[in-house]
Amino acid sequence: MIVKKDKEEIENYFRDASNFFGSADAVYFPVNAEEIAEVIRDANRNKFHVTVSGARTGLTGGAAPEGGVILSLEKMNKIIQIDRDEKFTIVQPGVFLRDLQNEVERSGLFYPPDPTERDSFLGGNAATNASGAKTFKYGPTRNFVEETKVVLPDGETATLKRGNYTAQNTVLTFPTDSGKEVQIKIPEVYIPRSTKNAAGYYLRKGMDAIDLFIGAEGTLGVITEIKLKLINPPEKILSAVIFFNNTENTLDFIEHARNESYKTRKSKGKNGLDARGLEFFDNGALKFLYESYPAIPTDAKAAVWFEAELNSENEDLITDKWFDTIETFHGDVERSWFAIDKKDREKFKDFRHAVSANVADYISSKGLRKVGTDTAVEDKFFKEYYYYSVKLAQSSGINFIVYGHAGNSHLHLNFLPKDKAEFEQAKLLYKDLCARAVKFNGTVSAEHGIGKIKREYFLMMYGEEAVRKMAKIKKTLDKNLILNTGNIFEERFLRD
Ligand SMILES: Cc1cc2nc3c(=O)[nH]c(=O)nc-3n(C[C@H](O)[C@H](O)[C@H](O)COP(=O)(O)OP(=O)(O)OC[C@H]3O[C@@H](n4cnc5c(N)ncnc54)[C@H](O)[C@@H]3O)c2cc1C
């Protein structure tokens, strides 16, 4: 196995896209699960930390090491199989999402989870239960993971196939590949009513063992192979960026489109509105894009990017319905952008990605860390939460922008502090926004996870007792606290 120790050579592995920095003594580049297990067994014997590194596009410091060694999974980058008939793919964890999406498309199938950052790894996506614009219709990565192989924190391996090991009420039992039995007590904890949640472990009575590892941010095991469900692609897709000259109308349009989409899905109707993604951009987010996208109307107050799946039978009917809806809510039909072909659709995707990327660049240029919410609330509180957040941010005088996955009532309010003082002030407001999201039956993290920089908000969301119960699961599987320790839990919850 390749091992690198030269500081200059490995420094890049000390941080992720959140700009949270750690340090480590070495980076290991395993090529298979056995090599990973070897490192982990060594870490248990010699008591050093192991941090798993994917593509390091994470936004919470999850892949930033706290001493010890880094396991970079970049050499485990093979798409092992794409089965067109049975509609699945098997991948190693270091495959880029972008590469998988392209390969799957070439094979005539479709993998719906689409976190905005396509230069992330599938292993990272599974470890964070990543989601994206299409999560509004298809759910997060979790919904597509059928089987995983994991190296557990004691060096044992396990193969978890969905449906094979489900909890008997609150007791979850599964075997390792060597036949050892692992037993976990599932605690009862707060379950948000938002349609997304990436904060802490997935815990439900009767749950599937596979779900414990998806979204666990590498704290319970290293994901070494993933089998993902694929589906047939839609025949046609309508994609549009609609500009509005009034925020109220924009939010009403979103609420209407969301409710209609739910109705259509519930009734299994084929001719109703059914957005697969509903993304919001406020005026500040649009301004951020003026330079690269001069066709944005400069008087637009907000915009919505939506996509809907069509077929040759309902194409005209559905397109008309969308136009009627846009007109009802006073969208600027004349100057909005519509795409049917793939090339234009990709441009809209890049448009969405450019906002997140530009924010990251801006923050890096100031040498600061991002202060941006990843909160989601119960749908019925979406507008109230939006106005609360904007009012609070405006009253601070700090520049900010809002954009994100409005279909899931999940927006990113990103402060753009100009200096350290504003950065500190923004952090206080951020805390307030997290608390308010929880009050609105939501979550402090809908998709990025907790990592090392959101532990305080995680604690606020669940409370000490529940966090202790979750930490007990970590301690059951990782007695020596070797693997990705530092993510999700503050040390005090693991030590006592
Ligand atoms: C511009 C931008 C846009 C983004 N948009 C989205 C978005 O729309 N939706 C979204 O969900 N996220 C988004 N993200 C965040 C990020 O892309 C996701 O969290 C992604 O899933 C991380 O994958 P990665 O391979 O980069 O993982 P890393 O950042 O390397 O790691 C993330 C965490 O997972 C652990 N990990 C990685 N691989 C494994 C493994 N094989 N086994 C066990 N643990 C592992 C790491 O230790 C770490 O704790 C965005 C990030 C950026 C920079």
Q: Is 153 in the pocket of ligand 1 (CB under 6 A)?
A: no
The pLDDT value recorded for residue 360 is 82
The pLDDT value recorded for residue 351 is 87
Do the Cβ atoms of 195 and 379 come closer than 8 Å? yes
State the burial class of residue 414 (Cβ atoms within 10 Å of its Cβ: 0-12, 13-18, 19+).
Answer: buried
- Identify the residue whose C-alpha is closest to ligand 1 atom 49: 62
Q: Is 349 in the pocket of ligand 1 (CB under 6 A)?
A: no
CATH tag, 236-439 = 3.40.462.40
- Identify the residue whose C-alpha is closest to ligand 1 atom 13: 115
Residue 448 CA, ligand 1 centroid: distance in Å: 7
Residue 54 CA, ligand 1 centroid: distance in Å: 7
Spelled out in words, what is the top-level CATH class assigned to the domain 2-72? alpha beta
The residue to mutate among 19, 36, 49, 128, having the most atoms of ligand 1 within 8 angstroms of its beta carbon, is 128
Q: Is 117 in the pocket of ligand 1 (CB under 6 A)?
A: yes
DSSP codes, 243-288: EES-HHHHHHHHHHHHHHHHHHHHTT-SSS--EEEEEEEEHHHHHH
- Give every CB contact of residue 321 below 8 A, 6+ residues apart in sequence: 272, 273
Residue 256 CA, ligand 1 centroid: distance in Å: 32
- Identify the residue whose C-alpha is closest to ligand 1 atom 23: 124
Q: Is 120 in the pocket of ligand 1 (CB under 6 A)?
A: yes
Residue 125 CA, ligand 1 centroid: distance in Å: 6
CA dihedral 451, 159, 205, 262 (to 10 degrees): 70
- Cα gap 482→50, rounded to integer Å: 6
DSSP codes, 349-387: HHHHHHHHHHHHHHHHHTT---EE-B-B--GGGHHHHHH
- Cα gap 121→434, rounded to integer Å: 28
Q: What is the value of pTM for the model shown?
A: 0.94
The pLDDT value recorded for residue 495 is 85
Do the Cβ atoms of 238 and 307 come closer than 8 Å? yes
The pLDDT value recorded for residue 116 is 87
Q: Is 141 in the pocket of ligand 1 (CB under 6 A)?
A: no
| Domain ranges (residues) in the chain | 2-72, 79-229, 236-439
Q: Is 73 in the pocket of ligand 1 (CB under 6 A)?
A: yes
Instruction: Please state the atom number of ligand 1 nearest to the C-alpha of residue 447.
Output: 11
CATH topology of domain 79-229: 3.30.465
The pLDDT value recorded for residue 369 is 77
- Cα gap 455→199, rounded to integer Å: 9
Residue 296 CA, ligand 1 centroid: distance in Å: 30
Residue 101 CA, ligand 1 centroid: distance in Å: 16
pLDDT in tens, the chain (496 residues): 999 999 999 999 999 998 899 999 999 999 999 999 999 999 999 999 999 999 999 999 999 999 999 999 999 999 999 999 999 999 999 999 999 999 999 999 999 999 989 999 999 999 999 999 999 999 999 999 999 999 999 999 999 999 999 999 999 999 999 999 999 999 999 999 999 999 999 999 999 999 999 999 999 999 999 999 999 999 999 999 999 999 999 999 999 999 999 999 999 988 999 999 999 999 999 998 988 899 999 999 999 999 999 999 999 999 999 999 999 999 999 999 999 788 888 889 888 888 888 888 888 888 777 789 999 999 999 999 999 999 999 999 999 999 999 999 999 999 999 889 999 999 999 999 999 999 999 999 999 999 999 999 999 999 999 999 999 999 999 999 999 999 999 999 998 7
Residue 130 CA, ligand 1 centroid: distance in Å: 7
The pLDDT value recorded for residue 269 is 84
